[in-house]
Amino acid sequence: MSPSRLLVAVLLVALSGPQALAAAPASRRPRVDREAMREAMDAAATDEGAFSSSASYTQYLRARLLHHAGDHRGAVDALRLALATDDGHPLLLTRLAEEYARLGDLDKAERELRRAVERSSAYYPAHVLLGRVLMESGRFTRARLHLRRAMALKPREPEAYLVLAQLYLESGSPSEAVKVVESLSRALPGEASGYRRLGLALAERGDTARAERLLTEAATRDPGDVEVLGTLAKLYEETGRPGKAEETLAKALEHEPDSQEVLLAAGRSALKAGSPVRARAYFDRLLSLSGEPETAVRVAFSYLSEREPDAAVQVLEAAQRASDGEPRLAYYAGLVHERLRRFPEAAKAFASVPEGSDIYPDARVRLAKCLSLSGQHPRALALLRAALQEAPDDLEVRAQYARALERGGTPARAESVLKEGLSRQQSAALYDALAATLQRQGRGAEALVLLRDALARMPKDPALQYVMGAAFERQGDMAGAQARMRAVLEVEPDHAPALNFLGYLLAQSGRHLDEAERLVLRALELRPDNGAFLDSLGWVYFRRGDYPRAVEVLERASTLAPDEPVILEHLGDAYQRAARGPEAAGAWRRALEVLSLDPESAEPPGQREALERKLKALSTGAAGR
């Protein structure tokens, strides 16, 4: 590697991210890389002429040692001493600029780099770093001039191309960034770095089509790049091509057969592609490599998301047997059963978490909830009483205790427990729990009075405004609910639940669907893996009459939240409108199965009866008329 190319490579690695221009903490001093020092010494001896004195050369070497030790302030001082006897040396000026950049002083970095290019206009590293510094300062036009100058000086060096492509990307011109990368490929046939870096950046930004094209080219040039193959597979899966995703991940495993992340992704893709046998092979290999409880959990939830609950339970039970009583596995097994609404089985799993475990407090609350939902009220209440005595200000424990009291037939006691909690702390979560309790007792108007009084005391509390909006919606006052959600967004524009709630309310009304879509898409930007938010987006498309698109989005929502009755009902509605009757019936029946296990999950309360009517109409050919 030429000395100038070595210098630029070091600078680009050092300055490859937005945070790279910040000073390194003085307390973190990495070991000195002696080999890098030798390379720097060799480069210094031959780059752009010799040093004018041994003193200058000595200070330069001292600066490199300080640089590698993380002492950039000390490196600045040493380089200034070197320049005192070798004024205008482009290498020293560029190194000094690098140290200033690492300290976050871009103005001084720019000043030294301008001196370097004035003294040596053909000095490639200074032009590249100056382009980078100007880009970080937001001066894209000037940065482009220096980067293109560097490309003209050394057309077969990739560094300037890569920085210029990044500049175009950051300035909102991805098509120009692609052109730069293609120029690099013409100048340096076989070079993969441009396609790779830009493809990965575009994938992260959601520019799927461009990212796929560039990463495909990068994989052709470097078939062993596992990160590129993994990202390509993710793009294939996101665009509904799980078979192609699995094929790509299999290629990655040829190069890294023990990559746990790739094995997990390949198993998930195989499940989505409809091949549980191949998925089992990937997962078994993964589980053989890792005895960590979290690995078994990730595999179990992968099965669960593709509606393979028995396989999920088998994985966790096998891991439990092999772990000699690891409490986390019992806890996670409880989570799986709870998600499947198998409350007695979940309670049994949570009950096996020992009291000395750090997860016991949460396991105890979940155990009590599952016992309560299973009708074992005395035991559930005893556990929650004990938990509340230990942590009287724990909002979740208090809310669960009140709900268990209500299920056990003592709603007045539940109300009292929540009011006691509110006397200790004014909490939107407790107000929500109390309002919902009153609503279930047919006292919705009283719930609204309660919340209005609370808002009079805390008018700017967005959480309380949100609770009030939800209460209006439960009462059927959609206009009031919308107004409250807008009030939340006035105070907190990126309140993701309020964005989603308002978007869904607008979709339900069938009006302002463009605004509804915009709101829900923003919520998804903030929380991209939220099944409820995807359900709202699918419902926007449904109300717009775009049934194929609604099906696509609702299927994704159902994958993220596979046993939510509302999502299943909406998915069935979309299937039915898309003339996919058998699939509609399957989704509705699955929703009814969930409701039979967990009647409380009905939304609205008459959901079960509505689903039964839809199935009956479908069977008689009357649905959709």
Backbone phi, psi, residue 29, to 5°: -115, 100
Residue 113 pLDDT level (bands cut at 50, 70, 90): very high
Flag whether 249 is in a domain. no
Residue 77 pLDDT level (bands cut at 50, 70, 90): very high
By the 8 A CB rule, do 472 and 452 touch? Answer: no
Q: Which tens digit of pLDDT belongs to each residue from 525-581?
A: 999 989 999 999 999 999 999 999 999 999 989 988 888 999 999 999 999 999 999
Provide the CATH number for the domain around residue 537: 1.25.40.10
Q: Would you say the C-alpha torsion 260, 264, 269, 273 has a positive or negative sign?
A: positive
Residue 201 neighbours by CB distance under 10 Å? 19
Return the pLDDT at 354.
92
Q: Quick one: DSSP state of residue 23? A: P
Locate 496 and state its tokens. Answer: 């993701």
By the 8 A CB rule, do 444 and 413 touch? Answer: no
What is the mean predicted confidence (pLDDT) over 418-442?
A: 94
By the 8 A CB rule, do 538 and 546 touch? Answer: no
Locate 586 and state its tokens. Answer: 């399957």
**Is the model's pLDDT at 261 over the cut of 70?**
yes
CA–CA distance, 47 with 27 (Å, rounded to integer): 33
Give which of 293, 315, 312, 316 is closest to 304, Cα–Cα: 312
Return the pLDDT at 239.
87
With pLDDT > 90 as the criterion, what percentage of the chain qualifies? 76
**Is the model's pLDDT at 267 over the cut of 80?**
yes
Q: Which amino acid is at 396?
A: E
Q: Is the bond into 90 cis (omega within 30 degrees of 0)? A: no
Flag whether 179 is in a domain. no
**Is the model's pLDDT at 29 over the cut of 60?**
no
Q: Is 192 helix (H, G, I), strand (E, B) or coil?
A: coil
CA–CA distance, 524 with 499 (Å, rounded to integer): 9
Q: Give the ranges where 374-410 is alpha helix by DSSP (H).
A: 377-390, 395-407
**Is the model's pLDDT at 92 over the cut of 60?**
yes
Residue 291 pLDDT level (bands cut at 50, 70, 90): confident
Flag whether 304 is in a domain. no
Beta carbons within 8 Å of 236's beta carbon, 6+ residues apart: 212, 242, 244, 245, 248
- In which domain, by residue range, is 601 found? 520-619
**Is the model's pLDDT at 36 over the cut of 50?**
no
Domain count, the chain: 2
Q: Quick one: DSSP state of residue 478? A: H
pTM exceeds 0.85, yes or no: no
**Is the model's pLDDT at 6 over the cut of 80?**
no
Give which of 96, 85, 33 is closest to 54, Cα–Cα: 85
Flag whether 254 is in a domain. no
Flag whether 69 is in a domain. yes
Last residue of a domain, one of 119, 154, 189: 154
Give which of 304, 320, 376 is closest to 352, Cα–Cα: 320
Return the pLDDT at 7.
42
Flag whether 599 is in a domain. yes
Mean pLDDT value across the chain: 88
Residue 619 pLDDT level (bands cut at 50, 70, 90): confident
Flag whether 501 is in a domain. no
Last residue of a domain, one of 120, 154, 188: 154
Q: Which tens digit of pLDDT belongs to each residue from 452-487?
A: 999 999 988 999 999 999 999 999 999 999 999 999
Flag whether 130 is in a domain. yes
Locate 133 and state its tokens. Answer: 């510094």
CA–CA distance, 225 with 256 (Å, rounded to integer): 10
Q: Which tens digit of pLDDT belongs to each residue from 137-180?
A: 999 999 999 999 999 999 999 999 999 999 999 999 999 999 99
Q: What share of the chain is helix, strand, coil (3-state, %, to 5)?
A: 75, 0, 25
Return the pLDDT at 301.
86
Q: Is 181 helix (H, G, I), strand (E, B) or coil?
A: helix
Last residue of a domain, one of 117, 139, 154: 154
